[in-house]
Amino acid sequence: MFKFLSDSVSQLSGESPKSNAFSTTQHFPAPNLIARLVSVTRDPEEDFHTYEIEVSFGLRKWTVSRRYKEFHEFNKLIQSVYMVQSNPLPELPPKKMCGNKEQPFVHSRKEQLSQYLTQVMSNTDLRSAVFTREFLTAATRDRMTRLYNEYVPLLKAGATFKKIGSVFTRDIRMRLTDDCMCLEYWTPISGNYGKGEDVKRLRTHTITNVSPTNEGLIITAERECELDTSQNGKSKFVRTAWLNGLSELSRLLHLIRSDDTTINRQKQHAASALKAHAAATLRDTTNNRQKQQRAMKRKSIADKYNKR
């Protein structure tokens, strides 16, 4: 189905699917993922306790319920992935076979799990790991897989829409940036879909709602963007897919975006790697020059003795 959507997007934009005219990316800082355990409740029918976790990422806030056994599986995953880590890993409170439903024990475990979650979220590597973000996500595996494999590639491919203004309607080109931080939209110039000078951006982590109306598609963020979705055929189908994709992206952006601290650390690593590469290049250049000088000196001495 995604191939059909991709081909349809290309037909709308007048470009081939392999066009790389929109390969630039904008690095806006992402908000940090924040999570804290707030309460514990008992399910009277199943006779077990669940721990409520409040999570936020930018303007988006939600609640996740997790049982102790889910914490246990999550901790096993941490241990297997970070076996050789110099820093100490968070310690999960141990299992208890008897008396684990008594109120004093339940409240004690709540405090222990709260401390455990705090330790996880204070570790930059753990907080940015995909399995941590999926653990803190109230979404099914099918929804997350569809976001990764269908919606994000579709939004990055870009499409042509009609923007409804107060005075007139005009064609605009819209796409998701490569780092998934912004929706870019601009007016094509003379039928050419290269970017014009009036490029505008909606930061994806500020999108609070995507909804269709009788007049168009409304994206509510730090500024509103209104699109005409009254086209027929494949155009309408692509716009419906974009509606679904943007809605899911606004809810699940934390799954595909690292925190600002992670981005900064990656930039620092990249700068360090670039500096090391420059030093190695200078060292190699110096060594080669010294080798050439020694070779020329040996040749000069050899020529001097051969003349004698």
Residue type, 104: P
For the stretch 225-245, pLDDT in tens is: 777 655 544 567 777 888 899
Tokens 């912004």 sit on residue: 182
pLDDT at residue 149 in the model: 93
Annotate 264-300 with three-state secondary structure.
HHHHHHHHHHHHHHHHHHHHHHHHHHHHHHHHHHHHH
For the stretch 146-184, pLDDT in tens is: 999 999 999 999 888 777 666 766 777 888 988 888 888
Q: Is the pLDDT of residue 125 over 90?
A: no
Q: How many CA atoms lie within 13 A of 233 on its CB side?
A: 5
Report helix, strand or coil for 208: coil
- Separation between Cα atoms, residue 299 and residue 293, nearest integer Å: 10
Written as one string, the DSSP assignment of 154-177 is: HHHH-EEEEEE-SS-EEEEEEEE-
Q: What is the mean pLDDT of the chain?
A: 77
Q: Is the pLDDT of residue 270 over 80?
A: no
Residue 20's pLDDT band (cuts 50, 70, 90): very low
Cβ atoms of 158 and 9 within 8 Å: the answer is yes
pLDDT at residue 230 in the model: 56
Cβ atoms of 47 and 148 within 8 Å: the answer is no
Q: Is the pLDDT of residue 276 over 90?
A: no
Cβ atoms of 183 and 190 within 8 Å: the answer is no
Residue 262's pLDDT band (cuts 50, 70, 90): low
Residue 4's pLDDT band (cuts 50, 70, 90): very low
For the stretch 38-53, pLDDT in tens is: 999 887 776 788 999 9
* Tokens at 286, concatenated: 């110096």
306 burial (CB, 10 Å; 0-12 / 13-18 / 19+) is exposed
Q: Is the pLDDT of residue 18 over 50?
A: no
Q: What are the φ/ψ torsions at residue 256 (nearest 5 degrees)?
A: -120, 5
Task: Return the higher-pLDDT residue of 294 and 86.
Answer: 294
Q: What is the pTM of this model?
A: 0.69
pLDDT at residue 19 in the model: 39
What is the C-alpha end-to-end distance of the chain, expressed in Å? Answer: 84
Cβ neighbours of 79 (radius 10 Å): 13
Q: Measure the CA dihedral 37/38/44/47, to 10°.
A: 30
Cβ atoms of 227 and 216 within 8 Å: the answer is yes
